[in-house]
Amino acid sequence: MRGLFKGAPIAAAVLAGALALGGCSSSGGKKAEEKATGDGGPRLKVAMVTHSGPGDTFWDIVQKGAKAAAAKDNVDLLYSADPDGGKQAQLVQTAIDQKVDGIIVTLAKPDALKDVLGKAAAAKIPVVSINSGAEVSAKLGALVHFGQDESVAGEAAGKELARIGSRNALCVVHEQGNVGLESRCAGARKTFGGKLQNLYVPGTDMPQVKSAVTAKLQADKSIDGLLTLGAPFAATAVDAAKDAGSTAKVATFDMNKDLIASIKSGAIWFAVDQQPYLQGYEAVDELWLFKRNGNVLGGGRPVLTGPAIVTKDNAASLAEFANRGTR
């Protein structure tokens, strides 16, 4: 699960998404579209509406997966995002008004999306959820959820944090109210065995994140571990530890190109990878399969894309994929 990284790109994402949702699909007429799909069906239009967007390395990977599947299936993919639950719901409503063939949505703040997803169901628009909200996905009418079980992922992180020798750690939460992030910390707390407390930081402002982590490390010299909940925050945590003169070991959820290098160098001890490329890819593919052949993956359960633990031992094997922006 991931939340915000930068504020300005989010605003751009919302504008771009709104413009995209307001646009038309490719021209060429119905016959041309049917020929292009290769299966005799018309070109589909799918909206992906998330709680974070361009400028966040995690969501860039999600989009790459979605775009790859859309190209394969000849789907017109429309992307928009907003971190505010109410505004995200408005973007979903825009997609409904445009009569899209399917909607992909994140459920970081599910209560804000409950009503609008009910409207999607009433309009007979199939919905797939990704990344966050696995526990409420089916209740809100989604066909299937693609992501990792955040509690299970947290438990894996807690075990690994203990294995590397940490006993007093911080779980750095960059978006209050995000159910997935809270589940990660809670899961880690179950298996850690030591003291693990949440530290809430302003995720849209990385200098402030650094200041908050630095201050906490300076105030409590016994802290020996930092567990961040997104790859960009791991690098900031490393800098904060240096500024505080702390030897706390840094670990994180999620990956990007720079993170692989940091794991290989030993600056970051491990990452919990939920394979975001798969989340975007499989969500688009599922909607295409459902519309074309009535297929639903998962047998009524979430389809898990993680967790996988990436350490110095296996980071090199993923470097090629990270460098091209798919891991």
Q: What is the pLDDT of residues 136-157, one digit of tens each?
A: 999 999 999 999 999 999 999 9
Backbone angles phi, psi at 6, to 5 degrees: -125, 145
**Token representation of residue 212:** 């908050």
One-letter identity of residue 18: A
Q: Regarding beta strands 271-273 and 168-173, do their DSSP bridges make them parallel or antiparallel, or are they unpaired?
A: unpaired
3-state SS assignment for residue 23: coil
Distance set, CA 227 to CA 137, 140, 170, 215, 283 (Å):
27, 31, 6, 16, 29
Assign 3-state DSSP to the chain and report helix, strand, coil percentages, each to 5: 50, 15, 35
pLDDT of residue 150: 92
* Closest C-alpha to 116, from 91, 133, 137: 91
Domains of the chain are 7-148+275-296 (3.40.50.2300), 150-273+311-323 (3.40.50.2300)
- CA end-to-end span of the chain: 15
- Residue 54's pLDDT band, with cuts at 50, 70 and 90, is low
pLDDT tens sequence across 203-225: 879 999 999 999 999 999 999 99
Tell me the average pLDDT of the chain. 89
Residue 143: which of 304, 305, 298 has the closest Cα? Answer: 298
Q: Sign of torsion, CA 171 172 174 176?
A: positive
pLDDT at residue 326, as a whole number: 93
pLDDT of residue 203: 84
Burial of 326 from C-beta contacts in 10 A (0-12 / 13-18 / 19+)? middle
pLDDT for residue 165 is more than 70: yes
- pLDDT score, position 38: 52
Query: Per-residue confidence at 179, pLDDT binned at 50, 70, 90?
Result: confident
Does the bond joining 307 to the residue before it have cis omega, within 30 degrees of 0? yes
